[in-house]
Amino acid sequence: MPTHAAYRGEIAIEMARNFHPDLLITDVVMPGISGIEAAIQVRDMLPACKVLLFSGQLAAQGLVKWRANGIKNSNYSPSPFTPTN
């Protein structure tokens, strides 16, 4: 299965539009739009896409926005992390 990488939220959305991923793994803090906003837009476009957010800086308002959008099949992991997490 091919893997694609984007370093900006806008690029992640465009790549999702083209490649229809089953899983989106993103940092919350990215240049341009946030990983949360990118994930919301990808999930609006591809409801079956699962999402895993990583961040060492997840602000409370980001979680509120994430949950307010009813995002299911998603998870958040604080970073840094170790393989035992």
Reported confidence tier of residue 14, pLDDT bands at 50, 70, 90: very high
- Taking the domains of the chain in order of start, what are their residue ranges? 9-78
Task: For the beta carbon of residue 78, count every other beta carbon within 10 angstroms.
Answer: 13
User: What percentage of the chain carries pLDDT values higher than 70?
Assistant: 65
Cα–Cα distance list, 31 to 5, 7, 9, 56, 70 (Å): 14, 7, 7, 15, 24
**What pLDDT is attached to residue 29?**
81
Residue 17 has pLDDT above 60, yes or no: yes
Does the pLDDT of residue 85 top 90, yes or no? Answer: no
Tell me if 32 sits within 8 A of 6, measured CB to CB: no
9-78: CATH topology? Rossmann fold (3.40.50)
How many Å apart are CA 22 and CA 27, to the nearest integer?
A: 17
pLDDT in tens, 50-66: 988 877 765 545 665 66
